[in-house]
Amino acid sequence: MFSKACEYGIRAAVYIALQSLDGRRVSVNEIAEEIDSPIAFTAKILQQLSRNNIIHSVKGPTGGFEIAREDMDAVKLNMIVKAIDGDKIYVGCGLGLKECNAQKPCPLHDKFVDIRTDLSKMLKSTSLFELATGLEVGLTYLKR
């Protein structure tokens, strides 16, 4: 569904949001540890998110990553997915034709579009804050 990079990106963003709720800035090392991801690869992904203004980074001692409280509401999953995986899951054809096109649809088009629309709506309506709170209460997990 999502690339590994995107999965790490979402997990990382949720963890940063959770810690930012406590006013804590976190380092790549801590993030990678807490979401069980490869450190250097995770660093690359965080750079992408930072460049896309999804998370905020601070260099130097006491630096790290954080997300402002308002941004946790404003940042929806679709923004993270788009920043990392691009829009292929939104415009791609389920059977691999150049692009999805209702004028010349593939045999699976109608059924595929239904699913994709649901997915898209879900991603557009799910905020980082929402995901972080489940974690905070101990209902959900970022690693096992």
The contact set with a copy of itself (CB under 8 A) reads: 1-2, 4, 7-8, 10-11, 14, 77, 89, 92, 94-98, 101, 104-109, 111, 114-115, 118-119, 122, 126, 131-132, 134-135, 139-144
Q: Are 89 and 81 in contact (CB under 8 A)?
A: yes
User: H or E element: which one contains 66?
Assistant: strand 64-66
- Interface of this chain with ligand FES, residues 37 to 96, rule: CB under 6 A: 93-95
Q: Closest by alpha carbon to 132, among 73, 85, 80, 83?
A: 73
57 lies in the site for DNA, by CB under 7 A: yes
Query: Least distance (Å) from ligand FES to the CB of residue 137?
Result: 16
* Contacted by 11, from ligand FES, a copy of itself, DNA, none: CB < 5 to 8 Å by type: a copy of itself
Query: Least distance (Å) from ligand FES to the CB of residue 47?
Result: 25
Encoded one letter per residue, x for contact with ligand FES by CB under 6 A and - for no contact, window 87-116 reads ------xxx-x--xx---xx-xx--xx---
Closest to a copy of itself by CB, 61 or 96: 96
Q: Closest by alpha carbon to 43, among 74, 17, 65?
A: 65
DSSP string, 2-64: --HHHHHHHHHHHHHHHHHHTT--B-HHHHHHHHT--HHHHHHHHHHHHHTTSSEEE-STT-E
